[in-house]
Structure 1
Amino acid sequence: MNSTQYNIRSIAAKTLNEVLEKGASLSSILPLMQQQVSGKDKGLLQEICYGVLRSLPELDWFANQLMDKPLDRKQKTIHYLILIGFYQLHYMRIPAHAAISETVNAVSALKRPQLKGLINGVLRQFQRQESLLLSRLENLEVRFWHPDWLLKRIQKAYSGDWLKIIEANNQKPPMWLRVNPNYASVTEYLTELSQEEIASHAHETLSSALILDTPVPVDRLIGFDKGAVTVQDIHAQYAAHLIEPKEGELILDLCAAPGGKTTHLLELAPKAKVIAVEIDETRGIRIKENLKRLHKNAEVIIGDGTTPEVWANGRQFDKILLDAPCSATGVIRRHPDIKWLRRSTDIPELVSLQYKLLNAIWPYLKEGGTLVYATCSILPEENSQQIKAFLAKHPSAKLKEINAPEDFQKATTSVGLQLLPSPSGGDGFYYAVLEK
């Protein structure tokens, strides 16, 4: 595809409009938009979209300072194009003249050529006033890049650590890999990466984990299509270790998509019988794709976790991993659109669903069995408070102590393990291990 056939800034503006005005998730809409561009432009499109969503309040504030009146709702795509211009000028290494000219040219691709003068004027004004604007920004909450409701919840829950959490959320995430032991040892795979001039380091505690010094596209990872490695955050990798799968055990992975934890269980215990249950049929396909890539076998069921009587066929499980639907507030750095798609009113609904899932599946755990409750949230209502409420109503459930690796970024909590996002560490995850 010839790059002259499209304008990447206009495609980025349309992508942002789909997310922020129509509620599409970036992970679902971006791959579709990337089909319109070629080669390295796919990475550029991703960088622009993720960057704007990451720093949205700041970029919006710039626009409010530099424009006499905001564009009306019919012109939202043009508004996002202006933000794209700000992001390039302030955060990217693209030469200013190229960033401005390409952004101005995008107006024609968006069929609004009459607005070229406006875009050009606003971006050049930003160039001239950038230092002044930044000095005025210092004491404003928009510099935290989080919606007010979420910022207040994080400040309340983590009075001593909230700023570190916010700063970690606002950074680009590290790239962690999980090496498939059937393919190679971590040491062998480190050597293979080194030969491709990809610098990486093994984790000291988790035997299959390594981190890349600089993230790379998955097609640069040796043997990825053959199942050599899985891209999985270090804190997410801890789930399967907490389950401690054994050969021959019947293990349920509930709410299993996209299958990263399912396949990890089978890497740790290849002869375990794993059943992966997912309510969404499309996401269920992802589980099957990951199983196929990693040459693993599991029974995949499309079913509702709150009604196990429909699909469990009376089976009792040795181990259950409940990776509960949650606010995903622990993985914001990987999915910055969460900040703008999630609402404060969503949290009580999620808490209710999580409890229903816990309550429904507990009878299907064998006596002496283990259930690991997991979320990628940092909100106590979904985590420690949820498990406290469950323990209070289920005398048969006993909380097991978790001794996490020393380098994991942990928050103080009386119930379970709350992991926090950290720049070179893992994402925000919560775990509670319950024994019956």
Structure 2
Amino acid sequence: MKKIINLRAIAAKAIYEVVEQGRSLSNVLPVLQTPLNDKDKALTAEICFGILRTLPEQEFMIQQLMDKVMTGKNRIVHYLLMVGIYQLTYTRVPAHAAVAETVNAVSSLAKRPFKGLVNAILRECQRQQLSLKQKFDQQGNTHLHPTWLIKRWQQYYPDNWQAIVTANNQKPPMWLRVNQRYHSTKEYLQLLAKNNIEAIHCDQVKEAIRLITPVSVNQLPGFDKGWVTVQDLSAQYAATLLAPKDNETILDLCAAPGGKTTHILEIAPQANVWAVDIDSSRLKRLKENLTRLNISATVKSGDGRYPEIWCQDTLFDRILLDAPCSATGVIRRHPDIKWLRRHSDIEELAILQQQILSAIWAHLKPGGTLVYATCSILPEENKLQIQQFLNTVSNATLQSDMLQLLPSENGGDGFFYAVLKKET
């Protein structure tokens, strides 16, 4: 099949594959974007992420503008209409260009007979834009989240659920982690200032900097030399809580794409770090990150439920278990999670987490530390999971209070941490 090079057509195909086929945008988009230049890739990503953030609104507007919904082989046209509507509603693309280029995309999708329809619907959207928005605000899903998830958050966080929703519907802030082997955080802030990049330091994590306005990594001083890594504030707690030391044997389990692995090695460059993940394709990215930072780790593909297969009888001084989870704390970075995750997934994930935690506990040395982490904000995967573990494992103790971080507009993502000690 011929590669599509029209960015609007690529965006429509990406959204189609996420919503209709249940695929992850982070897997779909990079492949589809291959023929595009960097500028077009950026606009395609903005459109795709934006549509998935506001999907109920896009659906509502199409329902208002069309008598009949597109189905079957023509369903892709439905998502192309979203691409046009999103541009008209949320981007600075001139309206005439948004309409014209989206209509041109019809041919790229081999749906030429629908050019007139797409043109008519988008022009009608342009005319009715304000009234459509008002109608949606009055009767649509203005939370822009699935109902089952909203209900859970209302139950668990009665005072915070609206702030969680608001944060999720924003574009995420860009956080950096300064590699202290090269510069102090203060020194790197000065380097950013010299390059006219405005940033602020975070008090909670000494290596963390938030950019006032996100930039390309190519603009970051010394990025290619490993001076700095892009990593969310909340994710930076992991290595800090693990407190790695030189010459220790440390396991980072479910490690890809390697942000936490590299942080561990920045803190303890002489540690013997194992980075293990079940997804061999994602380990490629981990290896690239190690190379950029000029550090090394033992990288293995393995299933956390069966550690004896990939580590035999090895015992570790410290283990970071970044457990597979619902990822409900990182929705603003991955808005497709809202539409891919199901109510029934949570129980299944909790069972998987329990299996991995129990299996890997046997490979922690007596006196060793295990940090259990998720990017979830659901108690079944977090607090309740750890309480159950402590109730069933006699040689495990909680080192400090469990830490549940919630997503906030200018703060970090939603993460959970529990620091466990294995008694001797």
Give the TM-score normalised by structure 1: 0.93
AA aligned to 2:199 is: S
CA–CA distance in structure 2, aligned partners of residues 86 and 392 of structure 1: 52
Deviations 1:287-332 (A, max 9, x none): 2221111111211121111112222232222111100000111111
The structural deviation recorded for 1:349 is 1.2
Q: Distance in 1 between matches of 2:231 and 2:306?
A: 29
Q: Give 1:72 deviation, angstroms.
A: 1.1
Question: How many residues in Structure 1 have an aligned counterpart in Structure 2?
Answer: 419
1:362-401 equivalence runs, <5 A = 362-401=361-400
Code of the residue aligned with 1:426 in structure 2: it is G
**1:101 — aligned with what?**
100
Matched with 2:412 is 426
2:322 corresponds to 1:336: no
Report sequence identity in percent.
Answer: 57
SS at match of 1:144: coil
Instruction: State the secondary structure of the residue aligned to 2:74.
Output: helix
Q: Do structure 1's residue 117 and structure 2's residue 99 form an aligned pair?
A: no
Give the aligned partner of residue 198 of structure 1. Answer: 197
The alpha-carbon distance between structure 1 residues 109 and 157, as it changes in their structure 2 partners (threshold 3 A), is same
Distance 1:38 1:293, change over 3 A: same
The 3 A distance-change label for structure 1 pair 380 and 284 is same
| Whole-Å separation in 2 of the counterparts to 1:174 and 1:389 | 34
Question: Could you tell me which residue of structure 1 aligns to residue 20 of structure 2?
Answer: 21
Distance in 1, matches of 2:40 and 2:19, equals 22
The whole-number CA distance in structure 2 between the counterparts of 1:106 and 1:286 is 32
- Supply the AA of the counterpart residue of 1:428: G
In 2, Cα distance between the equivalents of 1:311 and 1:62?
52
> What displacement does 1:96 show?
1.3
Amino acid at match of 1:192: L
Query: Separation in 2 of the partners of 1:138 and 1:294?
Result: 47
Q: 1:277 Cα shift? A: 1.4
Match of 2:164 in 1: 165
1:128 aligns with 2:119: no
Q: Secondary structure at the match of 1:143?
A: coil
Q: 1:78 to 1:159 in 2, by over 3 A?
A: same
State yes or no: 1:212 paired with 2:198: no
Shift of 1:133: 2.0
**Counterpart residue number, 1:92:** 91
Aligned twin of 1:230: 229
> Following TM superposition, by how much is the alpha carbon of 1:265 offset from its aligned partner in structure 2, in angstroms?
0.6
- Deviation digits for residues 123-178 of structure 1 (CA, Å, limit 9, x no counterpart): 12222222222222224451111122222222222122111101111100000011
Shift of residue 67 of structure 1? 0.6
Specify the alignment match of 1:435 in structure 2. Answer: 421
Residue 203 of structure 1 and its aligned partner are, at CA, apart by 1.4
RMSD, aligned α-carbons: 1.5
Paired letter, 1:271: Q
Q: 2 CA distance for matches of 1:103 and 1:315? A: 57
CA–CA distance in 2 between the matches of 1:39 and 1:136?
37
Query: 2: distance between equivalents of 1:350 and 1:262?
Result: 23
> Is 2:322–2:372's contact at 8 Å kept on the other side of the alignment?
yes
1:64 counterpart residue number: 63
For the Cα contact (< 8 Å) 2:173–2:410, is it kept in 1? yes
Supply the AA of the counterpart residue of 2:366: E
Q: How far apart, CA to CA, are the structure 2 residues paired with 1:14 and 1:135?
A: 29
Corresponding position of 1:243: 242
Question: TM-score when scaled to structure 2?
Answer: 0.95
Report if the CA contact (8 A) 2:57-2:140 is conserved.
no
Question: What is the alpha-carbon distance in structure 2 between the residues aligned to residue 313 and residue 114 of structure 1?
Answer: 61
* Paired residue type of 1:43: A
Quick one: distance in 2 between partners of 1:103 and 1:298?
47
Instruction: State the AA in 2 paired with 1:349.
Output: E
Q: Distance in 2 between matches of 1:346 and 1:270?
A: 38
- 1:69 shift after superposition: 1.0
For 2:279 and 2:192, locate their aligned partners in 1 and report how far apart those are by CA, in whole Å. Answer: 36
> Which region of structure 1 is more displaced relative to structure 2, 127-136 or 212-221?
127-136
Where in structure 1 are there 5+ consecutive unaligned residues? 403-415
Kindly indicate whether the alpha-carbon contact (under 8 Å) linking 2:329 and 2:415 is maintained by their aligned counterparts in 1: yes
Letter in 2 for 1:359: S
Q: What is the CA–CA distance in structure 2 between the aligned matches of 1:148 and 1:355, rounded to whole Å?
A: 27
